[in-house]
Amino acid sequence: MNLIVEAYEVSNGTYGYPRVKAYILREYGWRINHKCIYRLMKQMNLQAKIRRKKQVYRKGSERITVPNVLNRQFTASKPNEKWVTDITYLLLNNQRLYLSVIYDLFNREIISYRISKRNDVQLVLDTLDEAIKKRDVNGTILHSDQGFQYTSHEYHAALQQHGIIPSMSRKADCLDNACIENFFRHLKTECIYLGEFNSMDDLEAAVHKYIEFYNNRRIQKKLTYLSPVQYRKKVCA
């Protein structure tokens, strides 16, 4: 036992039983069965201090992807049943603003949106946080593309925390999220391309104004010529 303790102390507690065996053989020429050394070390509570291996992340290893639960079923029977989300950019004088939107497939309403100069994970988290504060989201399907923001651990942790079911488009298939692409097209043709903006603040103000108009006053044929908010209030009254 003394030799085992010696080997352990010489190594500052880093030797396990294989190296303790090798140390005793090298220093004293004694061959001791490794099972015996293991048993004795266990009895003396001598456990090797193992250096924790540094986690190595390979490119792409942190991406989280999920199946296409929505599967182009772009109709919903009630509010907050199916949402879609995406980001578009707005360009002015070689500067960009990024618009992140969450859209309800039940009545085509913009549930939440955020505008930022940075296209990052925080942008989608802020958009999601606003939607969660407004609606009951437990069991809601939230569909996105496979952009880096939507495959991040932070995004999926937030979904899981609030009982939201993630869904993702197939890679590079914009038709899987066609409804929100359609909204972005309306925004740009009815607002951005028709306006004259002197600054990014002017552009951002125009987006705020258009989304308020779109939700509350822009009538749509598929909503029986009501706006998204009018349709929701009528159907859910």
3-state secondary structure the chain: CHHHHHHHHHCCCCCCHHHHHHHHHHHHCCCCCHHHHHHHHHHCCCCCCCCCCCCCCCCCCCCCCCCCCCCCCCCCCCCCCEEEEEEEEEEECCEEEEEEEEEECCCCEEEEEEEECCCCHHHHHHHHHHHHHHCCCCCCEEEECCCCCCCCHHHHHHHHHCCCEEEECCCCCHHHHHHHHHHHHHHHHHHHCCCCCCCHHHHHHHHHHHHHHHHHCCCEHHHCCECHHHHHHHHCC
pLDDT: is 27 or 158 the higher one?
A: 158
Residue 104 in domain: yes
Is the same domain home to 127 and 220? yes
Q: How far is CA 53 from the centre of its chain?
A: 27
Q: What is the pLDDT of residue 57?
A: 34
Do 112 and 208 lie in a common domain? yes
Do 87 and 36 lie in one domain? The reply is no
Q: Residue 59: what pLDDT? A: 44
- How many angstroms separate the CA atoms of 75 and 79, rounded? 11
Q: Are residues 132 and 182 in the same domain?
A: yes
Q: How far apart are CA 183 and CA 217, in angstroms?
A: 15
Q: Is 49 part of any domain?
A: no
Q: Are residues 90 and 151 in the same domain?
A: yes
pLDDT given at position 52: 41
Given a cut of 70, whether residue 137 has pLDDT beyond it is yes
CA nearest neighbour of 154 among 87, 55, 60, 62: 62
Q: Which domain holds residue 184?
A: 82-235
Q: Do residues 20 and 103 share a domain? A: no
Instruction: Report the distance separating Cα 46 and Cα 2, nearest Å.
Output: 12
Task: Judge whether 75 lies within some domain.
Answer: no
98 and 32 together in one domain = no
Residues above pLDDT 70, as percent of the chain = 92
Tell me the C-alpha distance between 33 and 67, whole Å: 53
CATH code, 109:
3.30.420.10
The token duo for 217 is 């006053």
Q: Do 95 and 142 belong together in one domain?
A: yes
**pLDDT value at residue 54:** 40
| Statement to judge: residues 87 and 200 lie in one domain | yes
One domain for residues 19 and 91 = no
Quick check: 223 and 79 in contact, CB under 8 A? Answer: no
- The DSSP bridge partners found for residue 66 are none
Higher pLDDT, 10 or 169: 169
Instruction: Classify residue 191: in a domain, yes or no.
Output: yes
Reported as a single tens digit per residue, the pLDDT across 15-73 is: 888 888 888 888 888 888 888 888 888 888 888 765 444 433 344 447 899 999 999 88
Residue 70 is assigned to a structural domain of this protein: no
Whether 90 and 199 share a structural domain:
yes
The answer to whether residue 72 sits within a structural domain is no
For residue 59, tell me if it sits in a domain: no
Overall domain count for the chain:
2
Residues 184 and 93 in one domain: yes
Give the chain's radius of gyration (CA, Å). 30
Residue 53 lies in a domain: no
